Structure 1
Amino acid sequence: MRKVICILLVLLSFMWPGQAAASGFKMNIQVMRQDDGTTCGELWYNDKVVWRLSILTDGAKPVSGSHTATTTLIAPDIINGMFLIKIQ
């Protein structure tokens, strides 16, 4: 497992050239778990949200959340005994 992590870190250092770091290229990935069990992930590029992914714990879509057009909702649900994954 350590070898795989070390290889990934070395490959990441090769993919991140000095020119990109010098030009102020900013990329950030955030993953957070909320109190209701929802897992949210965000991809930031130059201090702007490019894509937001919310994985819900059940089929209920949150009402009070401030979901924008860049938010993709994934909701697992069981209908008629079949497991479904709803992507909105």
Structure 2
Amino acid sequence: MTPSGPDRVARLLRDGRGLLLLTTADEAAFAEAAEPWSARIGRAHVEAELGAEAVLVRPDGYVGWAGSADDVSGLADALARWAGAPARSSSP
């Protein structure tokens, strides 16, 4: 269940990008960690029991990482592994 109603992960992956599923109301830590990959990774808040606060789903539908706000560095490592190097900041 997403804020806009029921949905399927397969539909959310149709654009060919990975997907970060968030089950916690406190998404700030995950959003900050995933920001450098925002062009390559979608993000969706879900109301589902996933066994983790956040789950990174690769474009092929497999889980690339699952964890909690205590392991945000693990999310960044997984994003680098599955989505490539983070985008460079445009600020000097």
- What interval of TM-score do these two structures reach, taking the shorter chain for normalisation? under 0.3
More helix by share: 2
More strand by share: 1
Higher relative contact order (CA 8 A, sep 6+): 2
TM-score (norm 1): 0.24
Q: Give 1 or 2 for the bigger CA radius of gyration.
A: 1
